[in-house]
Structure 1
Amino acid sequence: MVGRSDPAVIEVAGSELQGTFLTPRSKIPGVLFIHGWGGSQSFDLLRAQGIAALGCICLTFDLRGHAATEAQREQVSRDDNLHDIMAAYDRLAAHPGLDSTEVAVVGSSYGAYLAAILSGLRKVRWLALQVPALYPDDHWFKPKDQLDRSVLRALRNRAVTPDENRALAACAGFQGDVLIVESEHDDFVPHSTVMNYRSAFRRAHSMTHRIIDGADHALTEKTAQRAYTAVLVNWITEMITGARISG
C-alpha cells in the first residue's frame, strides 16, 4: 500500500517534466504465530522468517507449559494460554512499526483453536488455522492435560454449531479473510472438525481451504512441512498484496 503520492518536477534541457513520487507507508502488517499443544515456537520460526521477508513484523513465542516453562504443563489451563496469546498479541500490536489494522494470526491445532477465540477479542484481519482442534466449552479453567480424551473425540466427530462452542462462535462473527489447512491423514483432527470450522465462517470476506495430501497431524514428513509452508506463504502474500493494491 502506497502511503502517499507527491508531484515531482524533473528539469532537463530547459524543460520541466511532470512526475509523481510514490512513498511507501511507514507502517507494515504484523503476523502472530501460535504453536500447538506439546510444541514450541520452533515449529513456526522458519515460516515466520519467510513471511518477514515479505515485509511483515512476525512474532513467535512459547505458550506457558512449553519449552522453558514445560514444568508447568500439568497445571496450565486453556484460560492461561488464552491470556498468553492476548499478551503476545498486545506485545505485537505495540510495535512502533506495525499497522494495527493489518494483523494476521496463524495457529496450529490447539493454537488454531485459541486463535479462533482470539479473533473475537482482538482486531484480526487475516486468520490462518492449520489442523484446528476443537474443545468443549466445559471445564475451561481445568488443566488442559486433564480433559477427557473420549469427550474430545466424540465432539470432534460430530456436527457442532457456533451456538454451542466458543471458538466456532468467534468464527461466526469473523469478517476477515480465512485460510484453513487440513492434513489428509489426521488422526487427531478429523475432517468433520475441519468442516465445523469452515461452516462457522458465515461472514468471512474470503475462505481458502487446502488439504495437504498424505500429511499427518504433526506434519511429520518433510514434504508435508514444505507443502504447508508453501500454502501459508502464498496465502499471506496474496492477502498482503491485495491489501496494498486496494489501499
Structure 2
Amino acid sequence: MGIQSETVELHVDDDSIVGTIVSPGPKMPGILFVHGWGGSQQRDLARARHITGLGCVCMTFDLRGHEKTEGQRLTVTREQNLKDLLVAYDRLVSHPAVDSGAIAIIGSSYGGYLATLLSLQRPVKWLALRVPAMYWDDEWNMPKQALDRQRLNVYRQRVLGPADNQALAACAEFAGDVLLVESEHDDYVPHTTLMSYRSAFINAHSLTHRTVDGADHALSSEQSQKAYSSILASWISEMVIGARLDRYPHYAPWYA
C-alpha cells in the first residue's frame, strides 16, 4: 500500500494557506491536525505520516499568521483561525479516500481550543487535545496576539465550567471519544485548565487523560516528543482503527 502526499491550497477570505494531505487508500478515517500558536504543520507531519500507515487519511495545514502568512501574526483573530480550520476540515472530508463519518481532530494548545469550537459546527467522532489552551469568550475579533498575557495566565488558573466558556460548552455537547494529554511542567496551560476541560466532557463516549512526565508545554525534549507520539499512536489504534474494523469487518490494516 503506497502512501501518497498531496499539497493543497486553502482559500480563506482573501488569503491563501497551505496544507498537506497524506493518504493510503480508499474510504478511511480522516484525521485533521491543528498546530498551536507559533507552530506549523511541520511539527505534525511526522506523526501524520506514521498514523497514515495505520490506515487513515491525515491532513496538516498552517493557520493564518504562520509560515506563508506569518506577516498576519499581529492581526489575525481567533474567528479567522477558526474559519481556517473549518475550510481545512471541509477539504479533508471532500477527499475521495475519506470516510466522512469517521473524522478525528488532533489539536495542540491553541489548536486544541479551536478544535473544540469546530466540533460545534462539523461532525467529529474523535477529539485528541494536547495541552488545550483556554481563552475568554470576549474580544473574539481582537487580534489573537494582542490578548493580555497576564490576564490569560490568571484566567487559566480559574476553575471554569461549560456555562463560563464557549469551548467548554462545546466539550459538554461532544459525544465522541476524547484524549487529553497534559505536560507535567507546563508554564502556559496549567493543570487547572486541563481539569476544566476534563470536567466539561460530561457526554463523551470515553475520555482518556494522560500526562507526559517531565514535559514542558512545547515538548522540547526528544523524550517528551516520543512519549506523546506513543500516547497518540496507541489511542488512534484503539479508537480509530478499532472503529474502522467494526464498520468494515473485511478491512485488514497492513500490520495485521
**Superposition TM-score, scaled by structure 2 size:** 0.86
**Structure 1: unaligned runs, 5 residues or longer:** 1-24
Counterpart CA distance in 2 for 1:26 and 1:224 is 33
Question: What is the Cα deviation at residue 241 of structure 1?
Answer: 3.1
Q: Is the 8 A contact 2:66 2:73 kept in 1?
A: yes
Q: Which residue of 2 aligns with 1:147?
A: 147
> Any idea what the Cα deviations from partners look like across 1:177-225, whole Å, max 9, x if unmatched?
0000000000000000000000000000000000000000000000000
For 1:127-167, what per-residue CA distance to the aligned partner results, in whole angstroms no more than 9, with x for missing partners?
A: 00000000000100000010011221111001011111110
1:154-165 equivalences in 2 (<5 Å): 154-165=154-165
State the match for 1:200 in structure 2: 200
1:90 and 2:93 matched: no
Runs ≥4 in structure 1, deviation > 2 angstroms? Answer: 244-247
Q: In structure 1, what residue type is equivalent to 2:38?
A: G
Distance across 2 between alignment mates of 1:26 and 1:180: 29
The answer to whether the 8 A contact 2:111-2:132 is kept is: yes
CA distance in structure 2 between the partners assigned to 1:215 and 1:55 by the alignment? 29
Contact 2:77-2:141 at 8 Å conserved across structures:
yes
Highest Rg: 1 or 2?
1
- Report deviation, 1:231: 0.4
Q: Which amino acid aligns with 2:219?
A: L
Q: Which amino acid is 1:55 matched to? A: G
TM-score, scaled to structure 1: 0.89
**Aligned equivalents of 1:144 and 1:132: distance in 2?**
16
Letter of the structure 2 residue corresponding to residue 74 of structure 1: L
Alignment-derived partner of residue 119 in structure 1: 119
2:27 matched to which residue of 1? 27
Paired residue secondary structure (2:73): helix
Pairing 1:169–2:169 present: yes
* Residue aligning to 2:211: 211
Matched residue of 1:115: which SS?
Answer: helix
Residue 131 (structure 2) aligns with: 131
Number of aligned positions between the proteins: 223
Distance across 2 between alignment mates of 1:57 and 1:155: 36
Coordinate RMSD, CA, aligned: 1.0
* Residues 5-16 of structure 1 aligned to structure 2 (within 5 Å): none
Alignment-derived partner of residue 51 in structure 2 = 51
Q: Is the 8 A contact 2:51 2:58 kept in 1?
A: yes
Distance in 1 of aligned mates of 2:140 and 2:42: 27
Aligned counterpart, 1:38 = 38
Helix, strand or coil at the partner of 2:136:
coil
Structure 1 letter corresponding to 2:220: T
**1:246 lines up with 2:246 in the alignment:** yes
What amino acid is aligned across from residue 155 of structure 2 in structure 1? L
Give ranges in structure 2 of 5+ residues lacking alignment.
1-24, 248-256
* Structure 2 residue matching 1:91: 3-state secondary structure: helix
Which residue of 2 is the match for residue 15 of structure 1? none
CA distance in 2, matches of 1:241, 1:49: 15
**Once the 2 structures are TM-superposed, how far is the Cα of residue 97 of structure 1 from its aligned partner?**
1.2
Matched, 1:102 2:131: no
Q: How far apart are residue 26 of structure 1 and its match?
A: 4.8
Residues 55 and 241, structure 2, Cα contact 8 Å, conserved in 1:
no
Whole-Å Cα distance in 2 between the matches of residues 157 and 168 of structure 1?
A: 15
Counterpart mapping for 1:224-239 below 5 A: 224-239=224-239
More displaced, 214-223 or 142-151? 142-151
